[in-house]
């Protein structure tokens, strides 16, 4: 077996341990993952920018640090990937999700995620695909085209962190960056059969400029996609912590690794199969209903609940689309001030659904904004009301299984689920309501549908109770191990 295949599905924790023991060198590890990417990425389209020269230089430096006996970071020599959206690395292009006019655009700065992950010793191999401005739950764009799901190449892996999720599922990297403004970590985690974690708002810093206060409407998060809960805890330990550049950054520590080892015996867990208002595909419901039993087997008490959300799902998805517009319009106006009029001469670079919402965003009134925030508050009160009585709330992550990729660069989700119309951009995702509220949430693999497609289980915790979400995720992984899922993409012919 080639070293690239031997290492492909090792957890980041194991790779880091082998590097520290000098069983593997950072150069060997980096070269092995580069070889696998070169072999498999052409059929997946997970990576859209390859930084192999930079990675090999960092790997050589990392190897010398090991040989000199220096103190090593927790991710020393472990390969990873970052997302091509609002995520920057000096000298690397940033297309904001495949905007053709930005093909060669370089923002010569670090985002906080890349800064901290490299400080922890990880080696970034490149950037992964996402939809334009991250404005949908699928990954496709006019510049790079769709990313393909490792479990079925005709299907989409979800979005907007779909390139990262597909890369992790296919063993191209052990973990990768995700960002989440409506489910963009949890959505592709569910469809790609990996673990996605969105910490409490402020737990992982994000540095936004020119508007440092733009990440709370709705709450927008930095996070991680992995194949194991322990890996997520390891990466979070490197990412979390106070950053004075982020006005929302939390100045407190969490024992993420300890949380993974905790028992959930005695926990009270609420289960909602639909958050009261979402139509859910029978195939998804069947898998999630069975997966929820794992918490009882681990000693928790699970009870069905009504959440108390009173607004129709179409109204809620419209609220999300409006509330995400200020950060989008802010980015577009920032480029206009730099002399790049994306909505003028480059308007055709954007899909029609995005343009429709941007145009509506420019016309939005203050009264409409206030009303949307009031609806958001009602959703917060409903979810918090459940979490006042229970430790966790669990739901399906998504209402449906993965959709087919389009051929025109404009893949969207389903337009109806179980006969009920939904917004194809986000309306089939039970994730965005948690971006209204700021609670920590994860998507964990629940199993496969009868047609062999991954299904995700969403685990929502109390505000700042990240340890509870990780503990429950780890309990699910112990009782219903999902590592064998990856035999499917591993066996896929290239």
Residue 240: burial class (beta carbons within 10 Å; 0-12, 13-18, 19+): buried
184 catalytic per annotation: yes
Among the listed residues 94, 160, 164, 443, the single catalytic one is 160
The answer to whether residues 318 and 425 touch, using CB atoms and an 8 Å cutoff, is: no
Whether the bond into 399 is cis, omega within 30 of 0: no
Tokens of 92: 């690397």
Angle between helices 313-323 and 352-363 (to 10 degrees): 80
Could you give the 3-state DSSP secondary structure of residue 222?
Answer: strand
DSSP at 226: E
Backbone angles phi, psi at 309, to 5 degrees: -75, 125
Among the listed residues 94, 130, 184, 200, the single catalytic one is 184
Among the listed residues 83, 127, 155, 198, the single catalytic one is 83
β partners of residue 443 = 196, 458
Cα angle, residue 106 at apex, residues 247 and 60 outer, rounded to 5°: 90
Backbone angles phi, psi at 95, to 5 degrees: -100, 0
Which residue's structure tokens are 């069905």? Answer: 304
Distance CA(472)–CA(392), nearest Å, equals: 9
Q: Which of 321, 425, 328 is nearest to 376 (CA)?
A: 321
Q: Which of 184, 185, 193, 158 is nearest to 402 (CA)?
A: 158
User: Which residues, in sequence order, are CB contacts of 154 under 8 Å at separation 6+?
Assistant: 148, 404, 405
Angle between helices 12-20 and 52-67 (to 10 degrees): 50
160 catalytic per annotation: yes
- Where on the phi/psi map is residue 419: left (φ > 0), alpha (ψ -120 to 50), or beta? left
Could you give the 3-state DSSP secondary structure of residue 338?
Answer: coil
Could you give the 3-state DSSP secondary structure of residue 447?
Answer: strand
Across 336-371, b (16+ Cβ under 10 Å) vs e yields: eeeebebbeeeeebbbebbeebbeebeebeeeeeee
- Where on the phi/psi map is residue 118: left (φ > 0), alpha (ψ -120 to 50), or beta? alpha
DSSP at 408: S
Which residues have a catalytic role annotated?
A: 83, 160, 184
């Amino acid at each position: 077996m080639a070293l690239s295949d031997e290492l492909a599905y090792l957890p980041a924790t194991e790779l880091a341990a082998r590097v520290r023991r000098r069983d593997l060198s950072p150069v060997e590890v980096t070269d092995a993952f580069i070889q696998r990417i070169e072999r498999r990425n052409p059929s997946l389209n997970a990576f859209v920018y390859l930084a192999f020269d930079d990675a090999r230089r960092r790997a050589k430096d990392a190897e010398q640090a090991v040989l000199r006996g220096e103190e090593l970071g927790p991710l020393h020599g472990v390969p990873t990937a970052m997302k091509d959206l609002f995520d920057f690395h000096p000298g690397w292009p940033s297309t904001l999700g495949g905007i053709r006019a930005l093909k060669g655009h370089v923002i010569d700065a670090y985002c906080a995620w890349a800064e901290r992950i490299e400080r922890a010793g990880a080696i970034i191999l490149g950037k992964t695909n996402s939809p334009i401005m991250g404005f949908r739950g699928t990954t496709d764009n006019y510049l790079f085209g769709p990313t393909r799901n490792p479990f079925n190449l005709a299907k989409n892996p979800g979005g907007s962190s779909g390139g990262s999720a597909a890369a992790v599922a296919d063993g191209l990297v052990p973990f990768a960056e995700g960002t989440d403004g409506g489910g963009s970590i949890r959505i592709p985690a569910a469809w790609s059969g990996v673990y996605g974690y969105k910490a409490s708002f402020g737990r992982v810093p994000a540095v936004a400029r020119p508007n440092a206060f733009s990440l709370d409407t709705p709450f927008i998060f930095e996070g991680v996609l992995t194949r194991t809960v322990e890996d997520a805890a390891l990466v979070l330990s490197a990412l979390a912590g106070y950053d004075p550049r982020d006005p929302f950054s939390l100045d407190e520590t969490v024992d993420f690794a300890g949380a993974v080892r905790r028992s959930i015996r005695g926990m009270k867990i609420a289960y909602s199969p639909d958050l009261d208002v979402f139509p859910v595909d029978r195939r998804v419901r069947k898998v999630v209903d069975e997966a929820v039993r794992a918490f009882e087997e681990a000693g928790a008490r699970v009870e069905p609940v009504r959440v108390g959300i009173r607004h129709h799902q179409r109204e809620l998805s419209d609220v999300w689309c409006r509330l995400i517009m200020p950060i989008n319009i802010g980015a577009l106006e920032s480029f206009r001030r730099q002399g790049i009029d994306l909505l003028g001469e480059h308007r055709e670079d954007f899909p029609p659904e995005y343009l429709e919402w941007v145009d509506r965003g420019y016309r939005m009134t203050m009264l409409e904004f206030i009303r949307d925030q009031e609806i958001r508050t009602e959703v917060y009160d409903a979810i918090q009301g459940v979490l006042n009585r229970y430790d966790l709330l669990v739901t399906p992550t998504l209402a449906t299984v993965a959709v087919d990729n389009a051929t025109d660069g404009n893949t969207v989700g389903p337009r109806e689920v179980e006969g009920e119309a939904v917004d194809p951009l986000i309306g089939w995702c039970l994730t965005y309501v948690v971006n209204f509220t700021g609670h920590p949430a994860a998507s964990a693999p629940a199993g496969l549908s009868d047609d062999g497609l991954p299904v995700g289980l969403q685990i929502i915790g109390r505000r700042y109770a990240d340890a509870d979400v990780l503990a429950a995720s780890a309990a699910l992984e112990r009782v219903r191990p999902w590592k064998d899922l990856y035999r499917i993409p591993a066996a896929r012919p290239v």
